[in-house]
Amino acid sequence: MRPSGQLPLTGLLFFSLIPSQLCQICVVNETNFWRLEPLINTMLNANYTKGTLGLNVLLTLRLVGIKNQSLEQQLSQQIKEDINSGEMELTSGELALGILGLGACENQDEEFIRGARLVSKLEAKFQAEIQNMEAHDGNPLTNYYQLSLALLALCLFNGSYSVTSVTCYFTPENKNYYFGDQFSVDTGAMAVLALTCVQKNTQKNMDMNAEGKISNYVASLANKIQAERKQGLFGNIFSTGEAMQALFVSSDYYKNEANCRETLRAVFDNISRGAFYLPITAAQILPALMGKTYLDVTNPSCGLNPVKFNTSTEKPGTVTPTTAPLNILVKYSVRINKTSHTEVTVRKGSVFLDVMKAAQEKNETLFRFTVEETSWGPYITSVQGIKASNNDRTYWKLLSNGQPLSQGAGSHVVQNGDNLEVRWSKY
């Protein structure tokens, strides 16, 4: 295949995904747009201190057709600076999101993608992921969510990838779709989008055997996603948006109007409760609610019809409490081979990370930790000097009262009497 840097980015893959898709997609109608305004305001009013924090947001603004020129320019510039920075090495998934956001809907950033040879760089990162799997028992450098994002961006922007590698490593039984015994819905959903693109990419001359395998993979992963449905959601509220995108292009699930109504009710309820207060969570749920998928990024009509929302550009003010904040007492433990316990007092309204900091102040030897800022918020990278490792499939699991958190360390609000735990785990 010709190197991606030699190809124009306009008019790359104008493929018709599914003939019935436009009339069957489960979308929010105009009378319910007001329910989505909290998502829009979350994205518009966030503080984006670096480009990686705005990767999903730029993609969604352009894909959905939300016009905010100043924010779009800010995010675009920050992403370009992060990509050009010698100090910051983007992962395969981050670079893929950067390409998707910068290249969405035929805009002037396409010139930067060509000039910086971003697709070629992503090809190298994707190949490095494959090589790491070959050398380390099938484990990628990052994870399968990022690997699928990279494949999706390469497919949409005409990059090189091996169909043989795709059929080998994206089989639905692959362990990387699971955390322990739990199927990862957002990982499976991103793989469905990537594999659907590969399947529809007429520029790849696939033999019937490979095409049949990929078709079976898509169907199997879609079934696994549907098996994780609980009260209209898939996995949890944060994986539901990408699951909806995957089901739009791979199954008949949303041809049933009752399924659509149940999902929308559950999502609206969570929006009203403030579940999507992180920009990335708002950005990931919104495209599906507007009938868009990431496969629409290179569609020539992408973003041509801007959506009108009532938006607020005022940031929430600081409210001075009328009484002194209350303190709460929680139990905290770190489990590796043995368990270290302590009790700490934190302010009411504190998050899991605040408890970890308080425990570290009491005993740095037992409770020291390191954290990395990501677009999802803080990610715990090590405890007691022991680092999480993709090659070893190890990570630090966060639990509250024996249950894994559905939110991160910087988001989960703790309650008085909670029993919190950080556990060294394999997936």
Strand positions, DSSP E, 297-393: 327-335, 339-347, 369-374, 377-383, 386-387
The response to whether 380 counts as a known ligand-binding position is yes
Cα–Cα nearest to 4, from 187, 157, 219:
157
The response to whether 254 counts as a known ligand-binding position is no
The response to whether 418 counts as a known ligand-binding position is no
Cα–Cα nearest to 288, from 104, 89, 25:
25
Question: Where on the phi/psi map is residue 105: left (φ > 0), alpha (ψ -120 to 50), or beta?
Answer: left
- Phi and psi at residue 99, in whole multiples of 5°? -65, -45
Cα–Cα nearest to 351, from 317, 397, 400:
400
Token pair listed for 63: 């894909």
The response to whether 142 counts as a known ligand-binding position is yes
SS3 355: helix
Neighbours of 212 (CB within 10 A): 13
C-alpha span between 306 and 19 (Å, rounded): 24
C-alpha span between 175 and 138 (Å, rounded): 8
**Pairing outcome for strands 419-426 and 327-335:** parallel
The response to whether 144 counts as a known ligand-binding position is yes
C-alpha span between 127 and 122 (Å, rounded): 8
The response to whether 34 counts as a known ligand-binding position is no
**Pairing outcome for strands 386-387 and 377-383:** antiparallel
The response to whether 397 counts as a known ligand-binding position is yes
C-alpha span between 2 and 8 (Å, rounded): 12
Token pair listed for 123: 């090809």
Cα–Cα nearest to 321, from 347, 352, 355:
347
Cα–Cα nearest to 104, from 158, 143, 63:
63
Tell me the CA end-to-end span of the chain in Å, nearest whole number.
Answer: 36
The response to whether 270 counts as a known ligand-binding position is no
The response to whether 107 counts as a known ligand-binding position is no
C-alpha span between 224 and 184 (Å, rounded): 9
Strand order in the sheet with 377-383: 369-374, 377-383, 386-387
The CA–CA distances, whole Å, from 291 to 1, 64, 183, 295, 412 equal: 33, 9, 25, 11, 30
Q: Are 423 and 412 in contact (CB under 8 A)?
A: no
Question: Residues within the annotated binding site?
Answer: 142-146, 186, 236, 284, 379-380, 396-398, 405, 427
Q: Which residues are annotated as a binding site for cyanocob(III)alamin?
A: 142-146, 186, 236, 284, 379-380, 396-398, 405, 427
